[in-house]
Amino acid sequence: MKSKIFLGMLLFVAVIAVAGIGYAEYGDIVLGKKLESMEKAGVKPVMFPHWFHRIRFKCKVCHEDIFVLQRGANDINMMAIMNGEFCGKCHNGNIAWEPLYCDRCHSWDGPVPPYTAAPAAK
Ligand code: HEC
Ligand code: HEC
Ligand code: HEC
């Protein structure tokens, strides 16, 4: 019996390890929910360098006070950012550069991956 529990724990740890590795692969998140208005404004979809931010801030800084932990689940727009919400909590010329340099965020050249309703990887 004891060995079964041990085996179970081992499996549990292995799953966590695999999930961890799988996660790092898509460290960057493409945001293009508002693609139509972005095209109108002449900017590309946003490439959010998740990993870049994750090594600088604890998850708790952003999740879930600023961003719900699921791609596409946040209604981000430029008005809100300029008003100091979402990315603008930091990209305000104080903690990080102001949201005036469009192309630094709107830098994604490829297609926008589809949005799924699947819950985010934990
Ligand atoms: C600087 C802010 C920030 C930090 C720090 C941060 N994240 Fe995120 N995270 C985001 C944003 C922005 C999104 C995308 C939200 C959206 O699409 O609306 C996101 C999305 C996610 C998702 C969902 C991905 C998907 O494909 O649905 C997961 C999981 C996640 N973050 C985990 C973490 C973990 C774990 C940490 C800490 C190691 C972390 N995040 C730190 C901003 C951050
Ligand atoms: C918790 C604070 C915080 C939030 C929230 C945040 N950022 Fe940042 N971001 C930073 C800091 C700090 C830097 C580094 C600034 C510097 O180097 O001067 C940075 C840098 C960046 C860079 C440049 C990365 C590089 O390789 O130099 C991009 C692009 C970026 N952020 C996009 C975003 C987007 C898009 C969002 C919202 C989805 C966002 N950030 C939200 C703090 C934040
Ligand atoms: C700090 C990062 C950042 C910067 C800088 C930035 N944006 Fe955005 N922008 C975003 C994010 C994140 C979204 C929401 C993406 C999504 O979920 O589809 C967005 C959405 C948009 C949208 C669609 C939604 C809306 O508000 O109409 C437009 C248009 C837009 N940005 C234009 C601009 C322009 C023009 C600039 C330069 C003046 C700019 N952005 C600078 C991060 C940024």
Identify which of 92, 98, 93, 113 has the alpha carbon closest to the alpha carbon of residue 46.
113
Assign 30 to helix, strand or coil.
strand
Task: Output the residue whose Cα is nearest ligand 1's atom 3.
Answer: 62
AA identity, residue 71: R
The CA distance from 35 to 78, in Å, is: 13
pLDDT, tens digit (0-9, with 9 covering 90-100), for 16-54: 444 443 333 357 999 999 999 999 999 999 999 999 999
Neighbouring-strand partners of residue 48: 29
Q: Where are the domains of the chain?
A: 28-105
Assign 34 to helix, strand or coil.
coil
The CA distance from 75 to 33, in Å, is: 9
Atom of ligand 2 nearest to the CA of 95: 12
Neighbour count for residue 99 (Cβ, 10 Å) = 19
pLDDT, tens digit (0-9, with 9 covering 90-100), for 53-75: 999 999 999 999 999 999 999 99
Ligand 1 pocket, residues with Cβ under 6 angstroms? 29, 31, 48, 50, 53-54, 57, 59, 61-63, 67, 69-74, 120-121
Q: Which ligand is nearest to the CA of 43?
A: 3
Amino acid 24: pLDDT? 35
Amino acid 27: pLDDT? 78
Ligand 2 pocket, residues with Cβ under 6 angstroms? 46, 48-49, 52-53, 56-57, 61-62, 66, 86-87, 89-91, 95-97, 104-105
The CATH H-level (homologous superfamily) assignment of domain 28-105 is: Cytochrome C3 (3.90.10.10)
- What single DSSP character describes residue 49? E
